[in-house]
Amino acid sequence: MVKKVANKYQEKIAELEEKYKRVLADYQNQERRHKEGQSQVIKMASATLIEKLLINLDSLELAQKHLQDKGLQMVIDQIFATLSQEGLTQIETDHLQFDPLLMDCTEVVSGEKDQVVETVSKGYYLYDNVLRPAKVKVGAGGNDFHPSESGDLSNSGSNFHPSESEDLSDISGEPIA
């Protein structure tokens, strides 16, 4: 009889130890996730400020492009070095395959199909997250490129008029006024 009671208590102790280990593991995982989340918030807290500074950096780079001043280039390099210390890196784009996750296509021009022909505005990562996508011009491919193929239909001679469409009803079947 005493053996039965002892075995029963041993099983209960083993069960409680197992529950304790699981709860402890859950707590440690939650604590780790919380610390990682805090770290991410701290890293990204400066994102808004850096985005605003990038507008100024773009203006300085545009001025440098026209002025070709060594002193101005030194200032640009110093600003970029400071921003790099805060986790900013430039997205590489020139002559690479167009990547819609990292780049915005501003224009389709003659050039190798789906290849970046020109970078209009630099893009940046902040700690491996895209802070600002690069704005690029992308090649259309082929030799017979026409501007109307790039999506610019302003002078394409399209004669579509909504009033001439056969079915102008909304999803409920009611005519659109």
Let me know if residue 5 belongs to a domain. Answer: no
Q: Provide the whole-model pTM.
A: 0.62
Let me know if residue 152 belongs to a domain. Answer: no
Let me know if residue 28 belongs to a domain. Answer: no
> In Å, what is the CA distance from 100 to each residue of 40, 107, 116, 124?
25, 13, 11, 14
CATH number at residue 136: 2.30.22.10
Domain span at 98:
47-143
pLDDT, position 166: 43
pLDDT, position 28: 94
Total count of domains within the chain: 1
Let me know if residue 131 belongs to a domain. Answer: yes
pLDDT, position 26: 94
In angstroms, the CA 97 to CA 177 distance is 45
Let me know if residue 76 belongs to a domain. Answer: yes
* E-state strands within 18-133: 88-90, 103-109, 116-121, 124-126, 129-132
The vertex-58 CA angle with 55 and 66, nearest 5°, equals 145
pLDDT tens over the chain, length 177 residues = 788 888 889 999 999 999 999 999 999 999 999 998 888 887 778 898 999 999 999 999 999 999 999 999 999 999 999 999 999 999 999 899 999 999 999 999 999 999 999 999 999 999 889 999 999 999 998 765 555 544 443 333 333 344 444 444 444 455 554
Let me know if residue 98 belongs to a domain. Answer: yes
Let me know if residue 97 belongs to a domain. Answer: yes
List, in order, residues 6 or more apart from 150 with CB less than 8 Å away: 107, 108, 109, 140
